[in-house]
Amino acid sequence: MINFGIRNLKVFFKDKSSVFFSLLAVFIIIGLYALFLGDVWTSSMSGTPGIRFLMDSWIMAGVLAVTSVTTTMGAYGIMVQDKEKKITKDFAASPIGYRNILGGYIIGAVVIGIIMSVITLILAELYIVVGGGELMGAVSLIKVLGLIVLCTLSSSSIVLFLVSFFKSNNAFATASTIIGTLIGFLAGVYLPIGQLPESVQWIVKCFPPSHGAVLFKQVMMAQPMAVSFKGAPTQVISDFERMMGITMKFGDTTVTPLASILILLVTAAIFYTLALINISRKQK
């Protein structure tokens, strides 16, 4: 299983186009922010101290949540390619066993997602520092690394379930394009959640990766929030957090960090199970 996972890692990183397209949505988000959205948001709150540091941290937290989805999607593209080329039949005839093969795909996707997310984190911190911000402290960094693992496991499960229905690269490429387009909206990155219509907000709140984005924001924005909102009334801070998706509410109930973590863990358990059932059914 581990050796098969290593094989998938080598196949993924050997194909430079797969690596690039798995990060395409991330490049688009950063590009839009750097060229257009960043100036709009910072100018609208120009009187707030450290606003650039605050908004840079906000967008980069969202980018990390998106990366966990798009990179695992790219990693599972190897499984679709193997199906289309009938390579999976060769694997099935070997003594490895299909469960070990499937486990290898999952291990490969999760490891790829973590590696690419860590690379994205390094680039995000550099972007924040260049913009006049500060590096995260050691405790915050450890928390972010833990969230990367958690979000990658959750996103990987959802993507595996979706990919389990595909048999051709064309179908996979179409799905990747659609997901890459929508993920920025569903994770509350292109627009703050508070600016979306109420019905759309409910969709975003029910989308598991958006809870990963919330957790990233709470950790990465703690330091700049302390600077930008020093001495501000509690209500002002609370309104800003709800608007920017730093906290989520279902009605009058605020979703706690523990609840978001449980949502991601339960999502991983449910979708890995559904994916395994669907794949096992097709093997019979």
Residue 80's pLDDT band, with cuts at 50, 70 and 90, is: confident
In percent, the amount of the chain with pLDDT more than 70 equals 90
Position 44 scores a pLDDT of: 64
Position 201 scores a pLDDT of: 87
Higher pLDDT among residues 109 and 13, named by residue: 109
- Residue-wise pLDDT for 63-72, tens only, equals 999 999 989 9
Mean pLDDT over all residues of the chain? 85
Position 88 scores a pLDDT of: 62
Residue 9's pLDDT band, with cuts at 50, 70 and 90, is: confident
Position 262 scores a pLDDT of: 96
pLDDT at 45 over 70: no
Residue 267's pLDDT band, with cuts at 50, 70 and 90, is: very high
Total domain count, the chain? 1
Position 95 scores a pLDDT of: 60
Average pLDDT over residues 124-153: 93
Average pLDDT over residues 205-214: 91
Position 196 scores a pLDDT of: 82
Average pLDDT over residues 123-134: 89
CA-to-CA distance for 68 and 84, rounded, in angstroms?
25
- Residue-wise pLDDT for 182-202, tens only, equals 887 877 777 788 888 888 888
Average pLDDT over residues 4-17: 81
Position 11 scores a pLDDT of: 81
pLDDT at 127 over 60: yes
188 Rama class: left (phi>0) / alpha (psi -120 to 50) / beta: left
Position 107 scores a pLDDT of: 92
Task: Give the range of the structural domain holding residue 227, as residue numbers without chain letter.
Answer: 2-283
CA-to-CA distance for 153 and 157, rounded, in angstroms?
6
Residue 93's pLDDT band, with cuts at 50, 70 and 90, is: low
Higher pLDDT among residues 36 and 252, named by residue: 252
Three-class HEC string of 80-146: HHHHHCCHHHHHHCCCCCHHHHHHHHHHHHHHHHHHHHHHHHHHHHHHHHHCCCCCCCHHHHHHHHH
Position 283 scores a pLDDT of: 61
Position 183 scores a pLDDT of: 83
pLDDT at 284 over 60: no
Residue 168's pLDDT band, with cuts at 50, 70 and 90, is: confident
Highest mean pLDDT (candidates 21-30, 125-134, 254-263): 254-263
H runs (alpha helix) in the chain: 2-14, 16-22, 24-32, 38-44, 51-84, 87-92, 98-130, 138-163, 169-186, 198-206, 208-220, 222-228, 234-243, 257-283
